[in-house]
Amino acid sequence: MGWDSALLLSLAVDAVMLTWIVVPAVLLGILVGAIPGFSAQNTLIILLPLTLAMDINMALAFMVSLYCATHLGGGIPAILVNMPGTGGAAATTLDGYQMTLKGKAQQALVLCFVASTIGGLVTSIATVALLPFLAQVGMYLRSVEMVAVMVFGLVLIAAIAADDPLKGIIAGFFGLMIGAIGTDHIYGTPRAAFGFLELYDGVPLVPALIGLFAISEAFSMMERSTIVPRSAVVDSRAHWADTLEGLRLSLKYWWLTIWTSFVGLLIGVVPGAGASIASFVAYQQARMFSKTPDEFGKGFAPGVVAPEAANNGVTSGTLVPLMAIGVPGGSTAAVMMVVLQYHGIVLGPRLFIESPEIAYGIFFSMTLSYIVMLFTILPLARYMSQVVLIPTRILVPLILSLTIVGAFANREYVFDMGLALVFGVIGYIARKTNYHVTAILIGIILGPLFEQYLLRSLRIGQGDLTILFSSTIGNVLWAFVVLSVLLPWLRSRQQERHRRAERENPAALTGDQPR
Amino acid sequence: MDHSTRITRRALCGGMAAAGLLAGLVPGLPVSRAAAQSYPQRNFRVIIPTGQGGGAERLARAFDDAWSKLLNQQFEYTFHPGAAGQIGYELFVKQREADGYNLLFGNMGPEMIMYAVQKPDYRFPEDFVYFSRTDIDDSCIFVRNDSPYKDLKSVVEAAKKNPVNVAVSRIPHPASIGMLALGEATGSTYNLIPYGGGNPTYVAVMNGEADVGALPITGVLSLSSQFRVLGVFNRENIFAGITDNAPTVNGAFGTSIPDLYSSRAWAVHSSWADANPEDFALLERTSREAHASDAFRDAFVKTGSPVESLKYGDRQVCTEYALAMLDLAKRYEPVLSAQR
């Protein structure tokens, strides 16, 4: 489609005219995202009768705004109480919660909000400009390439468990074993479901996420009076200076925000991939390219920026295959597809010719929603951060009741509530024995996907393992996987050598040569 | 639903306020004709044993556009994909009350194959009965528009030399049976790759991961800008006009492969249907009327699907089809399951 300035102007005006519906959608989306177990997809299904009755532009603005806001909302509890609201925010807990424990909750929230909104804004604008190109990305990332992408994510297990690799590997394998529960991907034969119908489709992510993070954290909280240690209580008090410091840090890491949001965009374009994978891969890549990889996991700002920018980059990406080829990129996009088709909108390449105002209007609405999000939520960081000062005797029952409801809400199975509690106990034991719950979760999330892509690739190659190395893009990705393992190791060795040299001959390094 | 309906900000706020007020002041307010009949008196809950956003949901919603008006009640959907539909069926049979308000909207073809292969813990037709078929969706062989395969014969010739990768939704599926039967009849070999749903199967054929796809035809036709249909597993190609006169498989090779199609249908608990013949007759009658209505057809056309596939079938037709599909599945059971 040739760019028509009149069309662009009218789309921009239309988007602004829909602000009245974008604002409540954003607020609802943040709320839904912040409560573990509630998702954009389920909320949109509940509200489907309303969106079907709306004017199509209004319905799309509402759905897109709510969807984008849930990704931002998921980061709030991840930072404040170590419980990700969505799977895409699981990686945010690694550094976000550590910042909270240091009394920097407000800064972490600002980093999360700015990275989310800027990441979402940049990718929504980029999507409009690069749509024809992006539509091709899904054509090049096939099963073979996705195996390498999954390995990227799995490599993160090694990275986050660097202090104790053996425990990391055990936790990762435990997660992979849990991920293998459910029907196999080829014949649909149940495996290790022990007769539980609710496990036939695999271990559901939401109860696992809620249990491993939220419930186990609630159990841990019972052992102390506030979330933050006494030493950090004073630092946790609200100051506008912290908001400004968060903004300064966001500006400092602007480039990281941009490129990790593009990682999210590219992964989002692949149907079925999603925000969880994108945020873990972005975190892993940010760590790989960092000059101080050892700082990750200890309350390091880039550890919040990377996953948050990436999971908001996914929001644009997941709509690309829907718009360009008529195939939804994810479950939320699938619900949007129902609404679009109900209104008689023909999806696929013809959409850009027959209804350009719909095709591009979606991304204009997305852009507007991110602008609205930034201005509505940024000032609230100061007040949200005070959650960490609430006594745990109040917070723990609140978290437990909300999360148990959240575990039920996703699939409406009472079984899932019990499953969340089981994972809560597993998570609590893991924390007490210094096993990384994130490593378990990565195994649960990526295990089934890895298996699915691997089995599919092997079936395509008719059993020939070399198919995994048969594509140029795939081989480039494999090279990156090797690099991502070697680079931090080489870097830490170099730093160790440097430190040793410093200890042995400090004068040589300061330039103070003896005469 | 009147598609011309447009909600303005004022109408939305006013309507919600009014509805809230009304609900608060007059709980259980009867609605027009609903007051005059004993059944149905509340909304229907529908289980769809596949994921949301798929063909089943689009078809069900188009159908309930017409049906809800005749029944004066709305339809609420829950989606339970997984295990080739088994989860949705088990939930329906074991956990949903047999009260006539719980329905299932299933895809009889693949789901009866699943029933034959996975041997779940429920019985057909003792536990549930299909009573209203909405469509016939012929299985077809398709390729992307720029594929080197120009016709069915070129696919079979290639598959005689080397196994051809075929993207399918699931291994236990009528289209998969069709490919296996074609291979058996012509001495060609097909390597079936299951993608777990229509949408990922389309992508696999689009991006060249699989050479060929085998799926129900209506979804393929809704993406006609991307795909070419090479052949149909039925005695007649009712979409000849929009598939460039693609031949039937039997016509092209002189084979006698049975008609292979998916058929979506509404189901209800058998115990309720037998115990409440009048209410069940009402469901049957209104579903037939809904199927014949313009409201349904208009809504269906909007999904991009061809109206030719809409074929009503009553309880007897549905049961015959389901039992025939069971027999077919038993014939191919070793290759459709993990048995070797």
> What is the spatial distance between Cα A187 and Cα A434, in angstroms, rounded to a whole number?
38
Q: Say if the Cβ atoms of B82 and A182 lie within 8 Å.
A: yes
SS3 B188: coil
pLDDT bucket at A181, cuts 50 / 70 / 90: very high
Reported as a single tens digit per residue, the pLDDT across A310-352 is 999 998 888 888 887 777 777 788 888 878 877 777 777 667 7
Tokens representing A351 are 């959409």
- B interface mutation test: which of A200, A270, A411 has the most B CBs within 10 A? A200
Chain B residues inside the 8 Å CB shell of A453 = none
| Å between B94 CA and nearest CA of chain A | 11
Q: Which residues contact B177 (CB under 8 A, 6 or more apart)?
A: B113, B260, B328, B329, B332, B336
Residue of A nearest to B83 (CA): A188
First to last CA, chain B: 51
- Residue A403's pLDDT is what? 87
Q: Say if the Cβ atoms of A343 and B302 lie within 8 Å.
A: yes
Q: By CB neighbour count within 10 A (0-12 exposed, 13-18 middle, 19+ buried), where does A399 fall?
A: buried
> What is the spatial distance between Cα B132 and Cα B268, in angstroms, rounded to a whole number?
10
Residue of A nearest to B338 (CA): A187
Distances B146 to B141, B226, B228 between C-alpha atoms, Å: 15, 9, 9
DSSP letter, residue B257: P
Place of tokens 């959409």: A351
| Å between B255 CA and nearest CA of chain A | 27
Percent of chain B with pLDDT strictly greater than 90: 60
Task: Give kind and range of the element (H or E) at residue B154.
Answer: helix B152-161
> What is the spatial distance between Cα B259 and Cα B325, in angstroms, rounded to a whole number?
10
A120 or A156: which carries more pLDDT confidence? A120
pLDDT bucket at B212, cuts 50 / 70 / 90: very high
> What is the spatial distance between Cα A14 and Cα A169, in angstroms, rounded to a whole number?
52
Closest CA to B230 of B144, B142, B167: B142
Reported as a single tens digit per residue, the pLDDT across A495-507 is 788 888 887 776 6
Whether the predicted pLDDT of A430 surpasses 90: yes
A301 or A326: which carries more pLDDT confidence? A301
SS3 A402: helix
Q: Is there a contact between B312 and B292 (Cβ–Cβ < 8 Å)?
A: yes
Whether the predicted pLDDT of B222 surpasses 90: no
pLDDT bucket at A161, cuts 50 / 70 / 90: low
DSSP letter, residue B138: E
Q: Bridge-partner residues for B45, per DSSP?
A: B76, B102
> What is the spatial distance between Cα B167 and Cα B9, in angstroms, rounded to a whole number?
46
Of B170, B200, B202, the CB nearest to A188: B170
- Residue B68's pLDDT is what? 94
- Residue A233's pLDDT is what? 57
Whether the predicted pLDDT of B10 surpasses 70: no
User: Would you state the torsion angle of the CA atoms of residues A82, A86, A92, A97, taken in this order, to the nearest 10 degrees?
Assistant: -10
Q: Which residues contact A99 (CB under 8 A, 6 or more apart)?
A: A79, A105, A107, A108, A299, A301, A304
Whether the predicted pLDDT of A51 surpasses 70: yes
First to last CA, chain A: 73
DSSP string, A463-491: T-GGGGG-SHHHHHHHHHHHHHHHHHHHH
Chain B, 157-186: which have a CB under 8 Å from a chain A CB? Answer: 163, 165, 170-172
Q: Bridge-partner residues for B76, per DSSP?
A: B45
Chain B residues inside the 8 Å CB shell of A346 = 304
Q: What integer best gives the mean pLDDT of chain B?
A: 86
Amino acid in position A488: P
pLDDT bucket at A234, cuts 50 / 70 / 90: low
Chain A residues inside the 8 Å CB shell of B191 = 459-460, 462
A vs B, Cβ pairs < 8 A, gives: 139
Tokens representing A397 are 């029952």
The count of other CB atoms within 10 Å of the CB of residue A242 is 23
Amino acid in position B173: H
Q: Bridge-partner residues for B313, per DSSP?
A: B133
Q: Are strands B75-79 and B102-107 parallel, antiparallel or unpaired?
A: unpaired
> What is the spatial distance between Cα B114 and Cα A183, in angstroms, rounded to a whole number?
13
Q: Say if the Cβ atoms of A201 and B299 lie within 8 Å.
A: no
Whether the predicted pLDDT of A459 surpasses 60: yes
- Mean pLDDT over residues A219-235, rounded? 73
Closest CA to A284 of A268, A272, A302, A301: A302
Whether the predicted pLDDT of A434 surpasses 80: yes
- What count of Cα atoms within 13 Å lies in the side-chain half-sphere of residue A88? 36
B136 and chain A in contact, CB less than 8 A: no
Of A58, A271, A331, the CB nearest to B200: A271
pLDDT bucket at A93, cuts 50 / 70 / 90: very high
Tokens representing B231 are 């052949």
- B interface mutation test: which of A23, A134, A342, A410 has the most B CBs within 10 A? A342
- Mean pLDDT over residues B64-83, rounded? 90
Of A20, A188, A328, the CB nearest to B118: A188
Amino acid in position A395: L
Q: Which residues contact A458 (CB under 8 A, 6 or more apart)?
A: A464, A465, A467
> What is the spatial distance between Cα A84 and Cα A73, in angstroms, rounded to a whole number?
9
Residue of B nearest to A345 (CA): B302
Sign of CA dihedral A255, A261, A262, A264: positive
Q: How far from chain centre, in Å, is Cα A512?
A: 49
> What is the spatial distance between Cα B249 and Cα B139, in angstroms, rounded to a whole number?
10
B37 and chain A in contact, CB less than 8 A: no
- A interface mutation test: which of B5, B7, B46 has the most A CBs within 10 A? B7
- Residue B2's pLDDT is what? 38
pLDDT bucket at B250, cuts 50 / 70 / 90: very high
B100 and chain A in contact, CB less than 8 A: no
Residues in chain A: 515
Whether the predicted pLDDT of B14 surpasses 50: no
Q: Say if the Cβ atoms of A462 and B114 lie within 8 Å.
A: no
- B interface mutation test: which of A144, A460, A462, A473 has the most B CBs within 10 A? A460
Amino acid in position B279: D
Amino acid in position A200: Y
pLDDT bucket at B19, cuts 50 / 70 / 90: very low
Calculate ∠ Cα A449-A42-A120, nearest 5°: 70
DSSP letter, residue B246: P
- A interface mutation test: which of B122, B190, B199, B226 has the most A CBs within 10 A? B199
DSSP string, A495-511: HHHHHHHHHH-HHHHHT
> What is the spatial distance between Cα A84 and Cα A275, in angstroms, rounded to a whole number?
12
Calculate ∠ Cα B152-B153-B159, nearest 5°: 95
Residue B53, by phi and psi: left (phi above 0), alpha (psi -120 to 50) or beta? Answer: left
Q: By CB neighbour count within 10 A (0-12 exposed, 13-18 middle, 19+ buried), where does B316 fall?
A: exposed
Of A55, A335, A452, the CB nearest to B7: A55
Phi, psi dihedrals of residue B248, rounded to the nearest 5°: -80, 155
pLDDT bucket at B33, cuts 50 / 70 / 90: very low
- Residue A510's pLDDT is what? 52
- Residue B30's pLDDT is what? 39
Q: By CB neighbour count within 10 A (0-12 exposed, 13-18 middle, 19+ buried), where does B9 fall?
A: exposed
Q: What integer best gives the mean pLDDT of chain A?
A: 84
Whether the predicted pLDDT of A372 surpasses 80: yes
Amino acid in position A14: D
Chain B residues inside the 8 Å CB shell of A147 = none
